[in-house]
Every structure is written in structure tokens, then in C-alpha cells.
Amino acid sequence: MSQADEPSKEKIVVTGGAGFVGSNVVDRLLSDGYKVVVLDDFYTGDINNLPTESERLEVIRGSVTDFDLVREVVRGAGAVLHLAARNIIVSTRNPREDYEVNIGGTLNILLAAREFQTPRVVYSSSASVYGNPRYLPINEDDATNMLSPYAVSKFAGENYCKAFYESYNVSTAVVRYSNVYGPLQRPDNPYCGVIAKFFESAMAGDAPRIHGDGDQTRDFTYIDDVVEATLLAAFAAKAEGQVYNIGTGRETTINQLARMIIEITGSAREPVCVDRRDIDNIRRRVVNIEKIRRELRWVPSVTIEQGLRRTYQWLKDDLSKTQP
């Protein structure tokens, strides 16, 4: 990211900045010298994820559903990285809350960005919008197929971004994340991903529990690569009005994932198969990342093996801090 691409205004707003992805984005922005304002309702976010002693970080407890608050937070921002959302588990349990936060909250961000002429809004979407794809790897312009309230609301947010870009000249960019994992994704969070859950089981001497036959695949993406792609979408001129897949282009079965984690942790317990989940029953997922490689010169730098080892080291270090 060149200095010419960096925003001229003094602050960067990160909604959902106390969450897993958001807090990693905040860490990177602070290390790059930005002033950061976090807006988070702490529904799933954790204040412990944030370096609250930093003089360049302001943390505001509140929801993106509060339009008056959103206006005050967005005013004067050099960019808004809109990562706040109810995740797929919460969304499935409470679709009305999903609608209010994921769709209504996104509309509030865009309305404020239009009012204050925010240089860029980055909207974090999800590969969930593709559902069960007909072809692999999945391109950004392939057919979408929403199979959950979460996927519906994330895609609605994408469409609002496109509409505000076309109708009101609000500069937006959309990043579709694919199965992000890594440090700060805490296993004790009931909404964490499968990698954190598998590590938790293996480190406790328990068998990793695989839903279904384990042959389903995902495109697991390490958090550092996701942060870099998100910031490129925020600051690169070419990203304006675009939608990008953020993944690795590599399929990994859940069985393979469990085996790698067992090997890394030295666990003696074999994985066990249990009933299928009642959500996110996608058979195969791997995204094509050629567009962002070509336009923004982004490629993932961390393999699944490297990322899992880094995640394991972080989990061990984090565990040691809590033990007497």
C-alpha cells in the first residue's frame, strides 16, 4: 500500500472493531500510525482484543442500528471499514435481529458516508452468498444462492453499497471473506469457527467433532492476509465500486483440517463424526482470487499449514496468560 493511496483525513472508523477480524484490522491500522475509532456493541466482540491503552484508539460502545450515533462516529472519517454484523449462528436464530443489524446498520453507515462524503466505505461480506455453487472455483460474478438469513443480509448490504455508489457517488468496496481464522479467534467464544473449536478439543485431549462425513470443503484464509486485502480495498483507487473474493484458491476438507490440527498439537485422539449442522451445510467452497490479484496485486502469503501453526502458537501463549 503506497503512501499516495493512504487517506488524508485523520481517523479510520472500524465498526465491529472488537471482533475477531475487526480487532486484527485495528491492530494493523494502529501499527501503521492511524487514529482509529471503534464502534462495537460487544455482542460477540471482546474488549480484551483491543489495545485500549493506545492514545490513537477511541472505543465507542454502541450499535450501528443507532443512526444518530453512527453519524457522529462517521463524521470526519478518512475511511469506514464496516465489519459489524450478526454472524451466521445468531442470524439463523434471530432473523429479525439479523435484518436490523446487518441490513439496517449497513444502510445507516452508507447514509452517514453520503452525508459526510466519506472517501471510502469497505463492506465485509461473505462467501456464504454463493451457497452451493455450480462451478469451482467461484468467481465474483457467478450466481448467488442465499441459503441462510445471514447470506441474505450480507448480500443485501452488498447491493446497498452498489446502489449508493451508482446513485449517490459514495465510494464503496466489497470484500467477500472465506472462512477466516487465526489469532484473536477465541475458542471460548460460542460463535467461533471450526478451526478454533478443533484446536480447543485437541488441546484439551478431546476428540475433534466433525459434523457430517468430513468430506465437505472450505477455503480457509489466514487473518493477516484478510487484513491486508481489506486495507487494500480501503485505500486503493482501483477498488472503488468493486467486489472481491478474499480466499486462497485452495480447498481443504474438514477431515484434512482435523488431521493437520491433530498432528500440530500432538493429540492422541482421533476425530469423531457427528450429525450434520443445521446451518452452513455447503458441500464445497473455494473461491477464485484472480480479480484481486490482478487489480490490487494481492495474493495470500500464508498457507493453511503455516496459518494453523501460527494459530496454535497464539492459543498456547494466550492460554499461558490465564493460567496461574
Active site residues: 150
- What phi and psi, each to the nearest 5 degrees, are found at residue 197? -65, -45
C-beta of residue 131 within 8 angstroms of C-beta of residue 145: yes
Reply yes or no: is the peptide bond before residue 137 cis, omega within 30 of 0.
yes
Cα 296 to Cα 94: distance, rounded to the nearest angstrom: 37
Closest CA to 261 of 302, 305, 221, 217: 305
